[in-house]
Amino acid sequence: MIKKEVNREGWEQIADGLAAKTSTLLGLWAERECVHICIHDPATGVSVATLQTPDKSYPSVARKHLPALRMERAIADLFGLKAEGSPDRRPWLDHGKWPVRTPFVPVPASTTPALAYTFLPVEGEGIHQIPVGPIHAGIIEPGHFRFSANGETVVRLEERLGYVHKGIEKLFEGADLATAAKLAGRISGDSTVAYAFAFALAAEAALDIKVPPRAQDLRGIMAELERIANHFGDIGAICNDASFSLMHAHCGILREETLQHADACFGYRLMMDRIVPGGVTADLGAAEAVRLLDWTDSAEKRFDELMQMYEDTASIKNRTNTTGIVSEELVQLYGAGGYVGRASGRRFDARHHAPYPPYDGLEFDIPVLKAGDVNTRLWIRAYEIKQSFILIRTFVQRLPQGKIMATLPSPVPSSEGREGMAQVEGFRGDILVWLRFAGDGRIARCYPRDPSWFQWPLLEVAVKGNIVADFPLCNKSFNCSYSGHDL
């Protein structure tokens, strides 16, 4: 990781580079006295630039590069730092319900006026609005969708998120390593392994901890099991939203089997707290490993049959083909990761493009398609499941003997100011975690960036021009995280 301090001019140059598409935005976050921006430049790699903010403001990146917009609004809500020239000053995470304003520099809410929130205007004859949420009809996370429709056709979707904001970034502040690792595993429950993984890698980078090879491969097995479980669930759920319940039922069986194997192998269905800084907390027994391998064969065979059935069923294909299209230009601009990016031609997978153990040195395919519709996002998942089966077999078969935990220095010697960053490919896309330690081994600041930050805005585009009834299909095919985004 390249790290540099920049002045306002340097900050503007970074924004210009993003706008010119010579680099991709990976994250934008703040501290009380500064803002940080993380970008990926193909020429120089990943870098973090820091701008001091003595005037409590900084030049808006979003005025040149829109993907930064919601992050700037979140920074204003949490730190009170203003983005100068921002095209949208509305709050984002702060709904005016917290007892404090700008919780990192708390001001009692009673002393500042409540925040107004106006949805963007939509004009035209016959346009009507459909407000949906925060509580949705299904068993899913809360958020508000404001549809403006002309008849059945969606003219504009505006998302309003932040309902599940739990103050996670603030809770990290001052947390000891064990507490912080636990918290990281609860940023988004469906990606608990990926978040714990990213947090552990960032902490290990900061503290120069070497993870034993066996623990590295076990992490790989857990991460791929999590990916498979979620992809099974998503494929079933997408089909279910077009009333193809047979796929849903059978994908549900495969998902349940995945979780039961995770439970048998690592003692936890969703594998929370199995990955911690230094290694893993559960070892894989020989008998469980054999059963896991046998299952991958049986599950893969059954999954192939299901996907054949999907492909052969015209009624479902009629719903998923050409529905919710996202252009390659937009996924490149937003740096959208995961199946959202890869279904629209953006070839990026952190396991390959920012390799970390145990994926470094491994050859595996990164499925990329172009059509960018619901069907393509579903197929990317299907192809990734196949790759994950291969990876699980590789890790199980080559699993070295040895320790599963590095010896952690206790207390951490001179951790003051040590920083670490990691990018991990979760099932949804690349997760970024940046952290800095305080002197006593506690976390001074931790910023986790969910892949959803760069996917949610594209859902608004994907649904435009589709009928309202196809929104659930579009939404499920994205399956963005609310909790990971709202923090």
Partner 1 sequence: MHTLLAKSLITKPLTIAAPQPDPAALAELAQALDQRARRLLGHSLSIREVDAGSCNGCELEIHALNNAFYDLERFGIKFVASPKHADVLLVTGPVTHNMKIALERAYAVTPDPKWVVAVGDCACSGGVFAGSYACAGPVSAVIPVDLHIKGCPPQPIDLLKGLLALLATVSATGDVATTGT
C-alpha to C-alpha distance for 415 and 435, rounded to whole angstroms: 12
Taking the least distance from each CB to partner 1, the nearer of 67 and 185 is 185
Closer of 394 and 481 to partner 1 (Cβ) = 481
Minimum CB separation of residue 16 from partner 1 in Å reads 35
Judged by beta carbon, residue 108 or residue 124, the one nearer partner 1 is 108
Residue with Cβ nearer partner 1 (291 or 353):
291
Q: How near is the Cβ of 237 to partner 1 at its closest, in Å?
A: 9
97 touches 105 (CB < 8 A): no
What is the closest distance, in whole angstroms, from the C-beta atom of residue 267 to partner 1 in the complex?
A: 12
**Complex with partner 1: residue 206 or 270, whichever CB lies closer:** 270
Minimum Å gap between C-beta 303 and partner 1 is: 12
SS3 call for 458 = helix
CB of 103 to partner 1, least distance (A): 5
Nearer to partner 1, 165 or 219 (CB): 165
Q: What is the DSSP letter of 467?
A: B
What is the contact surface with partner 1 in residues (CB under 8 A)?
95, 97-100, 103, 106, 134-135, 137-142, 162-168, 170-171, 179, 182-183, 186-190, 192, 233, 246, 249-250, 252-253, 255-256, 259, 269-270, 272, 305-306, 309, 312-313, 481-483
C-beta of 237 vs 325, nearer to partner 1: 237
We find the least distance from the C-beta atom of residue 30 to partner 1, in angstroms, to be: 17
Q: Cβ(316)–Cβ(244) under 8 Å?
A: yes
Three-state secondary structure string covering the chain: CEEEECCHHHHHHHHHHHHCCCCEEEEEEECCCEEEEEEEECCCEEEEEEEECCCCEEECCCCCCHHHHHHHHHHHHHHCCEEECCCCCCCCCCCCCCCEECCCCCEEHHHCCCCCCCCCCCCCCCEEEEEECCCCCCCCCCCEEEEEEECCEEEEEEEECCCCCCCHHHHHCCCCHHHHHHHHCCCCHHHHHHHHHHHHHHHHHHHCCCCCHHHHHHHHHHHHHHHHHHHHHHHHHHHHCCCCHHHHHHHHHHHHHHHHHHHHHHCCCCCCCCEECCEECCCCCHHHHHHHHHHHHHHHHHHHHHHHHHHHCHHHHHHHCCCCCCCHHHHHHHCCCHHHHHCCCCCCCHHHHCCCCCCCCCCCCCCCCCCCCHHHHHHHHHHHHHHHHHHHHHHHHHCCCCCCECCCCCCCCCCCCCEEEEEEECCCCEEEEEEEECCCCCEEEEEEECHHHHCHHHHHHHHCCCEHHHHHHHHHHHCCCCHHHHC
- Of 101 and 156, which has the nearer Cβ to partner 1? 101
CB of 251 to partner 1, least distance (A): 9
Count of alpha carbons within 13 angstroms of residue 268, beta-carbon side: 16
In angstroms, what is the minimal distance from the CB of 247 to partner 1?
Answer: 10
Nearer to partner 1, 217 or 234 (CB): 234
Residue 26 is which amino acid? L
| Closer by beta carbon to partner 1, 41 or else 257 | 257
What is the smallest separation between the CB atom of 368 and partner 1, expressed in angstroms? 28
HEC profile for 292-339? Answer: HHHHHHHHHHHHHHHHHHHHHCHHHHHHHCCCCCCCHHHHHHHCCCHH
Q: Smallest distance from the beta carbon of 65 to partner 1, in angstroms?
A: 28
CB of residue 363 to partner 1, shortest distance in Å = 32
Smallest separation (angstroms) from partner 1 to the CB of 435:
17
- Residue 144 or 418: which CB sits closer to partner 1? 144
Q: Which is nearer to partner 1, 395 or 471 (CB)?
A: 471
